[in-house]
Chains A and B, each alone.
Chain A
Amino acid sequence: MSAITELSQETVRSMAVGAVFTDYAGKISSIDFHRTEDLLITASEDDSIRLYDIANAKLLKTTYHKKHGADRICFTHHPSSILCSSRYNIESTNESLRYLSMYDNRCLRYFKGHKQRVVSLCMSPINDSFMSGSLDHSVRIWDLRVNACQGILRLRGRPTVAYDQQGLVFAVAMEGGAIKLFDSRSYDKGPFDTFLVGGDTAEVCDIKFSNDGRSMVLTTTNNNIYILDAYGGDKRCGFSLEPSPNLTTEATFTPDGQYVVAGSGDGTLHAWYINKPNEVASWNSYIGAVTCLKWAPRRVMFAAASTALTFWIPKSNEEPSNGEATAGE
């Protein structure tokens, strides 16, 4: 089958809802794609964690987590193992992070340490480390294999963490729109670079690196979107969207790193071409203000979620080629 390396503007523009999942009883708090497999995991405020096959737009599994709840969620490298942060009972159990297996619906390990809700969770793209940023103003670095915390970073404000796609660097956002870059192998030396975006009141709630490692996209709580040069920290472009009160939203790169898609508080989605910043497309999300928006790492497809989950795929003018693609698989 033909795998495409670059998305054309037409393709991006033609994205449309291809599947809707409305059986959630609450807001979807986070979603994550597996890095290689065609899998998507979602965590919802109805305490469910659901696993989807994104190639076929099928719900594969559902599990409930009434005791801990499900807030932030993240795939590990294994397609059935996930990390999930807790929503309830954090103070009593201290079990703010859980390592779960969807395979046999078992909790594999608790990672204790955070005293409050985890608001940012990400897995190293290469090894077993992962990071979590919590409202207790700390970022912790963990290893899947041991329940002991590998390192703690205390900071001010709401922390947001992200690894770059190569696993060489990770970024931690803290108060005042400060983004600190760490070498993921020698993070104990402290950050090697600091970027500032958005002024003193900026609260970055989402960071993503592009696959090519050249750019990073930052989303603030008041829904300003900044695209930075990941090396120099220069602001390449910024977009301002309608904020959605009490919700954090997301922006995402396309796999080729050329477009950024973001959700607005007014229930629309927007796509920009970042090399020559211009808006390529804007859609009605059909599901209101989206809380989660991620582009599949290896598909021409993105998922947007609010209280429902939608899969967006290109409307195929090129019916045959898509058909081939499916046949190829």
Chain B
Amino acid sequence: MAFVAVESAGALVELDIGGPPGTLARLVESQRELFHTQIDQLQKLVVAQCKLTGVNPLAQEMAAGALSIRIGKRPRDLLNPKAVKYMQSVFSIKDAIGKKESREISALCGVTVSQVREFFAGQRSRVRKLVRLSCEKVTRLEESKTSKEDHLVSLDQSLPVSKVPSGNAAASDAFVTVELKQVPDNTGIFGTVKTYQQETLTSINLVKEEGRPSLLLEETIPGVNSDDKEFLNNIFNLMRKEQTFSAQVKLMEWVLCVQNSAVLNWFSNNGGITILATWLSQAAVEEQTTVLLVILKVLYHLPIHKALPVHMSAIVPAVNRLRFYRTSDISNRARVLLSRWSKVFIKSQALKRPFVSSFKTTLKEAIHKQRMSGFLNDELLQAKLDMPEDILALTEDAETTKTIEPKQALKLLPASGADSSKKHDRSVSSTKSKERRKVLLVEQPDHRAAGRSVQVVRAVSANHSRPMSADDIQKAKLRAMFMQHKYGKVDPSSSGSKLEKIEDPKALSASQINNVLSECKAPQDPHLIKEGNSIQIVSTKDNLPNESETASNSNSNSTSKQVCLGMLNCKPIQWKIPRETQISSTWSVGAGEDSKEFDVQTQRNQREKETFYSCLQDIPLNPKEPWDREMDFDETLTPEIPTEQPPDADAEEGSSCAPIKDAEEAPASKAAADITCASPISDGPPEPDLELLAVLLKNPDLVFALTSNQGKSLTSEEMVALLDMLKRNGVGLTGMLNELAHQKENSSHKTRSQEQEPPTSLPSPTPPSEAVRSGWRSDFGAFSKTPVLQPHFSGNRAAAALTSVVLQPPPATVSPVVSGPQTPGLVSPAQAPAKIFSVPEGMMMNDSTTRNLPPMSLLPTRTPAPSPPQKTSIICPLQQAKVFDSDLPSKQYPVTKTTFISSIPLQESLGHSRTTMSCLPTLPALPHNRQTPQLLPKAEVSPIPPAWLPAPGATKVVRQDTTAHQFISRPNGMLEAAVPNQQYVPSQNNYSTYPSGPVSQVHMLPGSLRGDRNGSLHGDLEAWRLDGGSLGLTESPAGWSYNDESRRGGRSNKVPEWSRQWTTENWDRYRSGGDKRWQDHGHGRQR
């Protein structure tokens, strides 16, 4: 650093500021002369040395000795040029060197290690300065355009002294060029001299920058303002836009380049500070240390004491927070900044008035401001140039250097100049400050009025000359609360701020005055006294520093923590019951008129005891739980409300439910169907119920259906329910039955002319069956609730068979009634089966719900046939077969099975899947056709229809059950199989004149069909075929027994079993002896 320059600068400062008072000017003049001569001498000496020897250690020593007195420990300009050159080259590569390197360099160039070190340090600082100056240049160029007093300084740099007097007129461009030159030119003493000059110039430049406003107010301000505002307008725009930290840093560096205090002032007052405050808080949050540093620098740079209180209140808390930042560097800076602000502010406050008074009307308010900024800058300068001060006041050298942070010195940041100045001040004029204390105390009231936040904060920190700690704040808050309770809120704060300001001015303003403006004091003091007299607010409390401090602290806190103190500030008015407001009745504002819960809760509260808690501790942590935890509702049922305007809100609610219902009904209805089958046996017919009778009479087919199911026992309740249902649905039934009749006709036609009518004609019945189904369904739904369970069936079945035998008579009684219409049909055996077929077909076409019907419809066909006598006769054996499933009848079956049936079903089953339906009806027809011939020859046959019907009826009941079960387990297709099954049964029974075997075969037929329908069963079929083949006839009985077991065990098993049995047998039959039958059958068909 060029300390000479610093000195000159100091002189300049004095010159500048002391302009008005003559004594100061004289003093400065003399100092300057001294400097000039010294510099001249030095230069001559150095030049001479350089010319003579070039590198002369002794000369260096001497020069160092000569200079060190003034310059301090920087004899680097006495380094030999070679070393300088070398070090510069090194420096160009790296700006910092380690110990080892420095030692190497020192060895190489013959300089001391410390010299090397210092060279580098100096270079570094100079580079920084260069950068800064280049920035300044930009601003200065702006200025130079407008400011008329800019004198270009000649490049005659060899005589810096000459420039010192003209320091005010700084050569902006020249500096930079000189500096730029210097680096290359740095050869030998000249170079060093130039460096030195340069530094002098820079300092001068600084001086000029800051001094100019004060001296050339009138001229500079307008131009500067217009241009720099424009300039700064851009800054603002950019600053507001800027989001990234890097860009912020750039902008702030830009701001740092601005030296014009007016501009800076303008900048700070127009929102720059608030922006900086936000940046600062952001950077603090993001922990952007570098950004924080730059921001703090900028804040140093700005004439913050002129900032509006609003801005200050924004920035101070932010900086205050940084005091506790974890990076010590930043926290230190923040602290220093705060303390400096407080001091600066107070100083400026202290100085403000005197100057106003001294210049009074000659200067405008703007000028006054400039003046103030000038002072600030002077102070900045002082801060920067601590060393010169040290030189001037050597005694305090050590102290100041300690207090000032080295980094700040390095970077030329304005360290707290106050510190040093304060010390000067203390040393010089402590008594005066004491004197002035009173004065200032009196002078303060306007500050108090100005604002509690900004000034006070600063004042407080100044008071401590260290930042407030959390403890301080806390204590202060408490005290403030106490004070406020005691005295009200106004006085303490104001008085506090007063006191603190009093203390600081003592230091700061005095220092200024001592150093620079000794003359100014004279005007200042009287003025202050005058003002003080005029205002005179000195409370006794103010003398207690503690109180005042706390009060002020509390106020400063109140800005940040409004709530706490806001509450204190809030003095509730006397509570009165607020008036009621009438709400216009025309508005019909709701008040829970339709609330049901209101009554519920009212009632509940009447039941419950109100809970009170006598003290806070009694209040439980949680309320009591509900009496009963409710089940969670089904979220899926929550209706979704559309958010879009077009109301398409028709939720299809029913649709989803319907299928479910159906599904539920289906099994139940099947069960019901089973019941219906069995029902007539037990109760129906015997009980004379006229209504029912009427219904039954209307629907003979229904009666058949009922009576045919004799095999089953039902509880009377079930029967009654069933019959009731029948009664209710008499009409529907008739409709259904009509349909059935119709179908019968169709089918009978078909049966008669099977070949003529292809199977396709059959589908006709489907629609009517639909109707039927609907009619039935509802009732079955009702039935579904009655617990008709599988166990019931399985368990009953055997019994049912037995009972059926016993109960045979009742059907007989019924049959006469019913038989009337049907008998004609029965006459020709073919017709009867035809009827039977037709019905099932219709049913088969239908859905699962219709399953119930097929058995029903089938049954009647059987029932009409039997004539009482024959029944009994035939039934007995069959029943036996039934009852002893496996034993006698079973054996018979196999035999009969060998007959046609086996072949037929097989073909059918194998050939068709669904379409078997159509074929099946035809098939039964065939057997009948056959039957008649067969029956005739066999003599027994004449009563055949009646004869076989009852018997099979019994057997069939059981079968039906099984089929019914199978249906249940099967998909729709199974129905078809089942139906033919039963149909065949009668026909087979006809044949059963032989053995009863056909019955079993009949069963097999459906089984086969089923097997086909269910692809999965094929495997079973196959398997059984093998078995059947091996076992032969004997196998079948086993199969039957198995069947029974399976029935009891579970439905699912039955199906495969069925299929197995008869398939095997069928196959066997088919292969072995069934050919005839089959052929017959084929004939029938072909016919």
Interface residues of A (CB under 8 A from B): 1-5, 7, 16-20, 22, 35-36, 54-57, 61-68, 76-78, 80-81, 94, 100-101, 103-110, 112-113, 124-128, 139-141, 144-155, 163, 165-167, 172, 174, 180, 182, 186-194, 211-213, 254-256, 267, 284-288, 296-301, 306-308, 310-311, 313-316, 321-323, 325-326, 329
Stretch from B260-268, B640-648, B710-718 contacting the other chain: B640-648
Q: Which residues of B contact A61 (CB under 8 A)?
A: 612-613
Cα distance A68–B622 in the bound complex, in angstroms: 8
Interface status of B600 (Cβ within 8 A of chain A): yes
Query: Which A-B residue pairs are the 4 nearest by beta carbons?
Result: A125-B590, A77-B592, A148-B633, A286-B570
- By a CB distance below 8 angstroms, the chain A residues around B624 are 104-107
Minimum CB–CB distance from B377 to chain A (whole Å) comes to 35
CB-defined A-B contacts under 8 Å, sample of 30: A56-B575, A62-B619, A63-B623, A65-B621, A77-B595, A78-B597, A94-B632, A101-B604, A104-B605, A106-B626, A108-B601, A108-B626, A125-B592, A126-B593, A144-B595, A145-B600, A147-B630, A147-B633, A152-B640, A153-B641, A167-B594, A191-B645, A211-B587, A254-B581, A298-B583, A308-B563, A313-B573, A316-B576, A322-B579, A326-B577
Is A81 within 8 A of B563, CB to CB? Answer: no
> Any chain A CB within 8 A of the CB of B609?
yes
Known: A55-B578, A104-B609, A105-B611. A286 touches B567 (CB 8 A): yes
**A152/B641 contact (C-beta < 8 A), A65-B622, A126-B593, A287-B563 known:** yes
Q: Is the CB of A314 within 8 A of B578?
A: yes
Give per-residue flags for B117-158: 1 if the beta carbon is below 8 A from chain A beta carbons, else 0. Answer: 000000000000000000000000000000000000000000
In contact, B610 and A128 (Cβ under 8 angstroms): no
A323 to B578, CA, bound (A): 10
Establish whether residues A189 and B649, one from each chain, have CB atoms under 8 Å apart when the complex forms.
yes
Q: CA of A57 to CA of B171 in the docked complex: distance in angstroms?
A: 75
Cα of A103 to Cα of B612 in the assembled complex, Å: 8
Alpha-carbon separation in the docked complex, A256 to B584 (Å)? 8
**Residue of A16, A66, A106, A187 most packed against chain B (CB within 10 A):** A106
Q: Is B589 an interface residue (CB 8 A)?
A: yes
Chain B proximity of A293: nearest CB distance (Å) = 16
Within 8 Å CB of B621, what residues of A?
64-67
| Chain A, Cβ-Cβ closest to B573 | A16
Q: Which residues of A contact B600 (CB under 8 A)?
A: 145
Given known A77-B597, A103-B605, A286-B570, contact A326–B576 (CB-CB < 8 A): yes
A77 to B595 CA separation, bound complex (whole angstroms):
7
Kindly list chain A residues whose C-beta atoms are within 8 Å of the C-beta of B760: none
Contact indicator B591/A35 (Cβ below 8 Å): yes
A7 to B595, CA, bound (A): 30
- Which of A101, A213, A322 contacts B601 (CB under 8 A)? A101
A300 CA / B624 CA spacing, docked (Å): 36
Contact call A3/B582, Cβ cutoff below 8 A: yes
In the bound complex, how far is the Cα of B644 from the Cα of A191, in angstroms? 6
CB of B98 closer than 8 Å to a CB of A? no
Report the bound CA distance from A124 to B594 in whole Å.
10
Residue in contact with B645 in the complex, picked from A100, A192, A212, A308, CB distance below 8 Å: A192
Contacts A66-B622, A113-B635; is A190 near B594 (CB within 8 Å)?
no
Q: Which of B551-608 contact A (CB under 8 A)?
A: 562-563, 566-567, 569-584, 587-598, 600-602, 604-605, 608
Most central of B582, B595, B647 by chain A CB within 10 Å: B595
Q: Do the beta carbons of A17 and B591 come within 8 Å of each other?
A: no
Q: Verify A127–B580 contact, CB threshold 8 A.
A: no
Structural contact, B575 and A298, CB atoms closer than 8 A: no
**Which residues of the partner chain A approach B642 to less than 8 Å between Cβ atoms?**
188-191
- The answer to the question of B616 belonging to the interface, with a C-beta cut-off of 8 Å to chain A, is yes
**CB neighbours of A163 from chain B (8 A):** 590
Q: Are A145 and B596 in contact (CB under 8 A)?
A: yes
Alpha-carbon gap, A6 to B561, bound state (A): 37
Give the distance in Å from the alpha carbon of A5 to the alpha carbon of B586 in the complex.
12
The answer to whether the Cβ of B69 comes within 8 Å of any Cβ in the partner chain is no
Also in contact, A267 and B566, with CB within 8 A (given A62-B616, A189-B649, A299-B579)? yes
Do the beta carbons of B641 and A128 come within 8 Å of each other? Answer: no
Which A residues are CB-close (under 8 A) to B594?
A: 126-128, 167
A299: which of B581, B605, B608, B619 is its contact (CB, 8 Å)? B581
The answer to whether A20 and B578 have CB atoms under 8 Å apart is no
Given contacts A104-B624, A125-B591, A152-B638, contact A287 B580 (CB under 8 A): no
Is the beta-carbon distance between B596 and A19 smaller than 8 angstroms?
A: no
Q: Which of A1, A22, A127 has the most CB of B within 10 A?
A: A127
Nearest chain B residue, comparing its CB with the CB of A267? B562
Known: A78-B602, A192-B645, A267-B563. 12 other contacts (CB 8 A): A19-B572, A78-B595, A94-B632, A128-B597, A153-B640, A174-B643, A188-B651, A190-B647, A255-B583, A256-B581, A298-B580, A308-B563
Decide: A112 and B601 in contact? CB cutoff 8 A.
Answer: no
Residue of B at shortest CB range from A127?
Answer: B594
Decide if B625 is an interface residue (CB 8 Å cutoff). yes
A103, chain B: closest CB distance, angstroms: 5
- Chain B residues lying within 8 Å of A193, measured Cβ to Cβ, are 645
- Asked if B620 CB lies within 8 Å of chain A CBs, one says yes
Across the interface, which residues of B come within 8 angstroms of A1, CB to CB?
579-580
Q: Within the complex, what minimum Cβ distance (angstroms) separates A193 from chain B?
A: 8
Any A CB within 8 A of the CB of B639 = yes
Question: B637 near A: Cβ within 8 Å?
Answer: yes
Given the contacts A3-B580, A103-B610, A104-B608, A190 and B641 also touching, CB distance less than 8 Å: yes
| A64-B622, A154-B640, A322-B576 known; A20 vs B611 contact (CB < 8 Å) | no
Asked if B643 contacts A154 (CB within 8 A), the reply is: yes
Q: Name the one of B575, B596, B613 contacting A313, with C-beta atoms under 8 angstroms.
A: B575
* B604 CB contacts on chain A under 8 angstroms: 101
